[in-house]
Structures are given as structure tokens and as C-alpha cells.
Structure 1
Amino acid sequence: MTALADQLRLLLPPVSYDGTAPLLSAAIEAEANALTQSDVQAEAVYSAIFADSGMGLADWERVLALPDPCLFGVAQSVRQRVQAVVSKLQARGGQSKSFFIALAKSLGYDITITTFRPARAGIARAGDAIYGGDWNYAWRVNAPAVTVSYAVAGMSAAGDPLAAWGNKSLECRLSQMKPAESILLFGYGDN
């Protein structure tokens, strides 16, 4: 007997039905099992609604066309895959520094951005870079020399590495999202 079956028995009118009768008891147990099973399935569906739960990850990746084409062949942990899904869902588009910093943060990277301006009379000083021509359209993402993504309990699967190094997913996603006319540079370490 289950607790749910006992609760269902309490719902029976006490004078009309005997909750311990064999046929009625079997029917109540079957109903309790069906309700328990539907509750478990509803919980799984509810969890899959939220991409950051990691449930239904394969479906999220299929819908969002992940992994990105520039990441084919690159092994990713479950956590990195979930971060890619969340990043793609949150990225509505933008061209500001804060947008790209937040996009990188959603992928697990802490970055800063440097923009370049051509030298102007009255502003530039002796020894400053001139930055003419295409430098008007260039910007550099500054990231740590080594970015390590560690395995997290509940967000890792069997076979995932305990730690992963690399900036391929950062470069891939920011290159996809950058304005078309801009020139994106990446700088790692002290810049």
C-alpha cells in the first residue's frame, strides 16, 4: 500500500464503500500508481522547460541548431553545452560593450573590450597609436590567458572531463554575433 492509495481510500464515503475490499483496493492501488506516474512525467516536462536545468538538452540543441558550425568536432562537457543553450536563448542581439560582456559571461568567460579610435588633433598625445583606416571598425576582446571550465555536480555527466581549457566557444559565439562591418580581434593574457 502506498501513501497516495491510503489518501484515496479516505476520500471514499465511509458507509457506502469498504476501502479494504480486495477488488476496490486493487483499483485504488492502480489509480494511485497511475497518478504517481503522471506526476513524475509532469515533473520531467516542467524541468525540461528551463534550459539551465539540463533536462531535454538534446532537444534544446536541436531547436537552437547547436553545436555551432565552428564547434563541430570540439568536445564539450554537459555544462558547456547547457551554457551554450542558455547563451543562445538570452542573446537577443546588440552592439554595445555590455551586451558582448554579458554574452561572454553566459558562456563562462570574464572579458573586457577595447575599442580603437583614430588619432585626432587636440586629443592625441605624442607616442599614441594613430589607428587609421580599418582600425575605426576594429575592437578587441581581452580574456584571461587560460579559462578553465570545471565540472559541477549535477551539471556533469559520465565521461565529462573534470576540467576543460580553451576559448573556442567564446571566439565562435562572438564572431557569429559581431556586427558585420566590424573587425573582431581576440587578446589573451595581459593586453
Structure 2
Amino acid sequence: MVVIRTAEHYAEQLQALLPPGPAWDPERVPELQQVITGLSREFARIDGRAFDLLNEMDPATVSELVPDWERVMNLPDPCLGLKPLFADRRLSVRQRLVATGGQNAAFYIDIAVSQGYPDATVTEHRAPRMGRSRFGQAHFGTWNAQFMWTLNTGGRQRLG
């Protein structure tokens, strides 16, 4: 468990570390207490920021280090547009870090739903084949079409 020390804790510690003698007596040198107070506040601030940094390492709680995470993971994705919202950028970082996916349609539909497209569907294309092609069925291109599909998202309904 992480304990964040306050300025009072640091002031007590600094006071206890002072050597004995008249040069370090707070009654004779009142400026010494101001120095200890200033140092203890700064140490407490640094301690708090170190705690914040520990929270930023977890993708579920990241906020300040989103730009650094994006740089590492080659984000923001162009699919988010020119000026994505901060919440979308944070979600992209989380998904990129924890996602384990596949090459199936369900994986991509789940991504679309989490990004705010609840009506996402997949259209699988079929290549025209001799003897199997029928009028009225959707066919697309050449033999390679059987390896393609289209993700239909419709309009965005909510933020991811």
C-alpha cells in the first residue's frame, strides 16, 4: 500500500534530522522554520506527483500521460478524425494496450460498439463462382473478394 506523506510529516522528519546546537535552534534562528516549511511542502508535492505517476502507468487510470502513450503506440488513429475528444484518445490508449483480438468479424464489431456504434454490422463479400453464382445475390469483384468484408457502422450514437 502506498502512503502519501503530507507536509507535516516531512516537517517533523526534517526537524528530527537537524543536528543539535545553537545554529539550528528554531528560537534563535526563526528563518529556519520557514526553510523547513518550504522544503516540507515541496517534498509533499513531489511525493504526491510520484503517486500520480504510479497511477498513470495503469492504462485504466491514465490521463496526464495520454500523449506519451499515444507516441509509443502510434496513436491517435486517423479513424478518430482530425481533433478527437480526449475521452476517445484515452479509450484508444486503453484498448491498444489491453486488446487481444482476432481476425474475425465479432472482434471488429465489438470495437465499433465500444467506440459508440451500437448498430455495427459486417457485410461479407462473396466472389462470383462458376455454377454457384445466382442473380439477385451480392457479388463483389474477383476471386479475392471472398477474403474481404465491410464494417458498416452507421451514425455514431454515443462517445466510446
TM-score between the two structures when normalised by the length of structure 2? 0.59
Instruction: Sort the Cα spacing of 1:141 and 1:72 in 2 relative to 1 into closer, same or farther, 3 A.
Output: closer
- Following superposition, the deviation at residue 45 of structure 1 comes to 0.9
Shift >6 Å, 4+ stretches: none
- Following superposition, the deviation at residue 61 of structure 1 comes to 1.4
Cα distance in structure 1, aligned partners of 2:58 and 2:94: 9
Which of these residues, 82, 99, 107, is aligned with residue 107 of structure 2? 99
Structure 2: 5+ residue runs without aligned partners? 1-5
Instruction: Sort the Cα spacing of 1:54 and 1:7 in 2 relative to 1 into closer, same or farther, 3 A.
Output: closer
Instruction: Sort the Cα spacing of 1:71 and 1:6 in 2 relative to 1 into closer, same or farther, 3 A.
Output: closer
Instruction: Sort the Cα spacing of 1:33 and 1:107 in 2 relative to 1 into closer, same or farther, 3 A.
Output: same
Cα distance in structure 2, aligned partners of 1:92 and 1:114: 23
Cα distance in structure 1, aligned partners of 2:138 and 2:12: 84
What amino acid is the match of 1:94? Answer: G
TM-score between the two structures when normalised by the length of structure 1? 0.51
Which of these residues, 147, 154, 159, is aligned with residue 137 of structure 1? 147
1:57 matched to 2:93? The reply is: no
Superposed counterparts of 1:7-46, under 5 Å: 9=12, 21=27, 22=30, 25-26=33-34, 28-46=36-54
Cα distance in structure 2, aligned partners of 1:130 and 1:105: 26
What amino acid is the match of 1:142? Answer: N
1:67 matched to 2:70? The reply is: no
Instruction: Sort the Cα spacing of 1:129 and 1:101 in 2 relative to 1 into closer, same or farther, 3 A.
Output: same
Cα distance in structure 2, aligned partners of 1:140 and 1:100: 10
CA contact (8 A) 1:86 1:106 kept: no
Task: Determine which structure has more spread, i.e. the larger CA radius of gyration.
Answer: 2
Cα distance in structure 1, aligned partners of 2:148 and 2:116: 24
CA contact (8 A) 1:83 1:108 kept: no
Which of these residues, 5, 20, 25, is aligned with residue 8 of structure 2? 5
Partner of 1:88: 96
Secondary structure at the counterpart of residue 140 of structure 1? strand
CA contact (8 A) 1:48 1:56 kept: yes
Q: How many residues align?
A: 140
Cα distance in structure 1, aligned partners of 2:123 and 2:80: 29
Secondary structure at the counterpart of residue 36 of structure 1? helix
Structure 1: 5+ residue runs without aligned partners? 153-191
Partner of 1:79: 87
What amino acid is the match of 2:74? Answer: A
CA RMSD of superposed structures (Å): 4.2
